[in-house]
Amino acid sequence: MEAIWDWGITFILTMQAAGDGSALLWRGLSIFGDETFFLLLIPLLFWCVSPQLSVRVSLVLLFGTALNSVLKIALAGPRPFWYSAQVRALTAETSFGLPSAHAQNAVGIWGVIAKAIGRRWAWAVALLLALLIGLSRLALGVHFPTDVLIGWIVGGLLLGAFLAWGERSWQRAGALGLARQTGLTFLVSLLLVALPALAVAAQASWQIPPVWAQNAARALPDDTIAPLSLETAVTVGGTWFGFTAGALRLWARGGFEVGGPLWQRAIRLVLGLTVVLAIWAGLGALFPRDATLLAALLRYLRYAILGAWITLGAPLLFERARLAEVPHPAAITA
């Protein structure tokens, strides 16, 4: 692997030789593959555009992030700035690097959106975004070319699997009663935490090479790398359960009408995101953030509440506040 990594360092240094002027551009492009960006996009879609599309995007994001965490821990690939002190880290990353979650998410999520739009130009935009987001991660010094390439491949496989089986699986789940649906999605959420936890257990004897730790500390003096952390897995598990359980409950009562004038949709978005921020930052400040079991359970709860707010709490509030129409009683499918 060292020969591949050495070649990757040369490639990255060539991109970074363009100077700081291009760094802002690459940072801006990288945002379109960030999980934080998608967690803002998902409420926008759910409350203002299409709840069904929002659910599709969310399932690909959450399942893909869990899969990415397992692969990262299992493959234990360094970040370029861990491996070489010559590489500048232009953004903070503390997990393993292989495969790139940004590249994977770009293919999977923008592919789902392009499929929903159903136009050639949408696929062209999705492919261009995936390409540019992947390149941005190289220029920012946080991924090797191989990380990005494998991220694209995994994202493509995940997108293909979702397009082939996603609708069918959701319809089968829809044939179950609400209680069984909720129990099933809770078990899936536990699985999304358990698989990365098993990967961490398999790496119990692994230790960060001193050179990686030294280079990372030099590049990110305010951050400590934690490649075996389960924070992402717990976040995904909690968000999955809250989001899907809330959506299933909403579907059972008839869904959510996203129609209305632009000003009404804008009020929904601002009001809903204000509560999202209050849950995320408020509970984040109250709950412990150490490596204890209690902290993990509270983190799961925090993100479950956040997910349920997006798919159930906010829609019900919008209806009561007359910011959305009350849906017809007939259930909708995603």
Show which residues are catalytic. 102, 143
Identify the residue whose tokens are 């990380």.
147
3-state secondary structure the chain: CHHHHHHHHHHHHHHHCCCHHHHHHHHHHHHCCCHHHHHHHHHHHHHHHCHHHHHHHHHHHHHHHHHHHHHHHHHCCCCHHHHCCCCCCCCCCCCCCCCCHHHHHHHHHHHHHHHHHCCHHHHHHHHHHHHHHHHHHHHCCCCCHHHHHHHHHHHHHHHHHHHHHHHHHHHHHHCCCHHHHHHHHHHHHHHHHHHHHHHHHHCCCCCCCHHHHHHHHHHCCCCCCCCCCCHHHHHHHHHHHHHHHHHHHHHHCCCCCCCCCHHHHHHHHHHHHHHHHHHHHHHHHHCCCCCCHHHHHHHHHHHHHHHHHHHHHHHHHHHHCCCCCCCCCCCCCC
- Amino acid at position 129, single letter: L
Cα distances (angstroms) measured from residue 136 to each of 85, 218, 219, 273: 19, 22, 18, 28
Q: How far apart are CA 31 and CA 72, in angstroms?
A: 20
